[in-house]
Amino acid sequence: MKHFNVLIGIAISMVLSTVDAHAQLNLPRGSQQASVSQTVGITKIQIDYSRPSVKGREIWGKLVPYGMNNLGFGTAKESPWRAGADENTVIHFSNDVTVEGQPLKAGDYGLHMIINDNNKATIIFSNNSKAWGSFFYNPDEDALRVDVTTNAIPFTEQLTYEFIDVMPNSATAVLNWEKKQIPFKIGVDVNKVVLEDIKNKLQNQEGFNRQTWENAAVYVLNNGGDYKEAESWIDNAIGGHFYSQKTFNNLAIKAQLERQQGNTQAYAKIMDEAMEIATEAQLNALGYQMLNAKNYESALKYFKQATIVSPKSPNAFDSLGEYYATVGDKENAIKNFKKALSMNPPANVKLNSEKYLKQLGAMQKHQFKLRIVR
C-alpha cells in the first residue's frame, strides 16, 4: 500500500511538472493571435487581439451573452465581453484621439464591449490593459464608454478587426464576427499632433539640420498655424546657427509667410533678395507661377533674370518668348523664340519655339533647291 501511494505521488508530481512546463511553451492556440494597425496623419492606432471562430455555434446572446454577466470566475461580479478571446483585447493610440467624438488620451487600453439585443453596443476603454479577459473588469478603471449602433454584414467565420472609411483626420475601427459588425469612429486632430511633434523634434537632434527648420515652416505655410512662430523657424534656417545657410528656397518660404500675414511689401523685398541667388530653373518656375497668376510685372522680372543668370540657355529665351506671346507683345516674342532656336536648343525647346513662331506667323518656310546630277 505504501509502495502504491509513492507511485501515485510520483505520478502527480510528473503531471504537475508537465503542466508547469507546458505553461512555458509557445504552442498554437485555438484562437489565433492577431494585430491590425492604421495610421491617421502621424498617429498610430493598433489593436492586438485573439480570433475565435464561429464553428457552427450561436454567437450573439449565447456564446456572447447580451448585457453584463457574471462569468463565474475572477473578481468581477458583472463583466462585459472581452471583444475577442483569451487575454485582454488591447487598443493603442500613439497620440490623443476622439472616439465617437469623445476625447481619449494617448496610451494602451483594454477593449471591452457590452452587446445588446437591440442592435446597440457599448464600447469600453479600460485603463487596465494587462488583465486576462474581462474576469477582473472594474468599472472604476473605465477611461471612456461610447454607445454605437451595430450593422448586419455577410457571415464572417473568424472574429476580425479592421479599419474602414479611412480619411485624412479619422478612421473607423470595426469588429466583424458572424453576421454582426461593431464600429467605432476614431478622430485625430492631425494638425495639432503634427505641430507638437515638430516642436519636439526642433528641440532634439533633428533640429541640428537646416532642412528640418525649413520643412517645419513649410508645414505651417501649407496647413495653417502660427505664422509668426513659423517665421522664427525659417529665420533659424537662414542665419545665426552653424547649420544655417541663406538659400533661394528658405528666402522664398519666408516671403510666403510674410504674404500670408498680409505683408506684401516685405514679401516683394524678400523675393527680390531671393531672385539674386536663384538658379535659372528656380527663376523659370517663379516666372510661370506669376504668369499663371496674371502677375505680369513679376513674371517679366523673373524671366528676364533667368536670361541674365543663364545667357547661353535656349530654354531661358524660349520662356521669355512665352511671356511676351502671352501678353501680346508679338515683336519681342518672335525675337526671343528666334534667339532660342539660334542656340541649338534641345528637341523639346526647339519644338515649343517653332510652335509659337508658327502661331505668330513668323516661321520661315524652308526652300529646297533641286540638284540634278547628270
Look at residue 41 and give its three-state secondary structure.
coil
Sign of CA dihedral 31, 35, 36, 40: positive
Give the pLDDT confidence score for residue 23 in this predicted structure.
55
**Range 343-365 average pLDDT:** 92
Instruction: Give the three cell numbers for residue 124.
Output: 469600453
> Is 124:142 a contact under the CB 8 Å cutoff?
yes
More confident residue, 371 or 304: 304
Query: Quick one: pLDDT band at residue 16, thresholds 50, 70, 90?
Result: very low
* 306 pLDDT higher than 90: yes
Q: Could you give the percent of the chain with pLDDT greater than 70?
A: 90
Secondary element (H or E) of residue 320: helix 314-327
For 217, phi then psi, to 5°, come to -65, -40
171-184: buried (b, 16+ CB within 10 Å) or exposed (e) per residue? bbbbbbbbebbbbb
Report yes or no: 47 and 111 within 8 Å, Cβ to Cβ.
yes
> How is residue 88 written as a grid cell?
485582454
Sheet architecture: strand order including 107-115: 32-40, 43-51, 89-93, 107-115, 120-126, 142-149
Question: Which pTM was predicted?
Answer: 0.80
| Position 365 confidence tier, pLDDT thresholds 50, 70, 90 | low
3-state secondary structure of 26: coil
Q: How far apart are CA 111 and CA 108, in angstroms?
A: 9
Q: What is the mean pLDDT of residues 204-230?
A: 97
pLDDT digits (tens, 9 = 90+) for 96-113: 999 999 999 999 999 999
**pLDDT-derived band of residue 6, with 50, 70 and 90 as boundaries?**
very low
Q: Rounded to whole angstroms, how far apart are CA atoms 365 and 374? A: 28
Give residues with Cβ within 8 angstroms of 265, minimum separation 6: none
Q: Grade residue 71 by pLDDT with cuts at 50, 70 and 90.
A: confident
Residue 132, Cβ neighbours under 10 Å: how many?
12
Say what the pLDDT of residue 1 is: 46
Residue 50 pLDDT grade (very low, low, confident, very high; cuts 50, 70, 90)? very high
| 17 has a pLDDT exceeding 90 | no
* Nearest C-alpha neighbor of 85 from the set 43, 128, 42, 29: 29
| CA dihedral over 132, 133, 139, 143, signed as positive or negative | positive
Phi, psi (rounded to 5 degrees) for 225: 150, -155
- Banded pLDDT at 28 (limits 50, 70, 90): confident
Pairwise CA distance, residues 7 & 268, whole Å: 97
Contact at 8 Å (CB) between 102 and 140? no
Tell me which amino acid residue 23 is. Answer: A
Per the model's pLDDT, the better-predicted residue between 374 and 90 turns out to be 90
Q: What percent of the chain has pLDDT over 90?
A: 82
**Residue-wise pLDDT tens digits, 309-334:** 999 999 999 999 999 999 999 999 99
User: Which residues on adjacent β-strands are paired with residue 164?
Assistant: 172
Q: What is the mean pLDDT of the chain?
A: 91
pLDDT digits (tens, 9 = 90+) for 157-199: 999 999 999 999 999 999 999 999 999 999 999 999 999 999 9
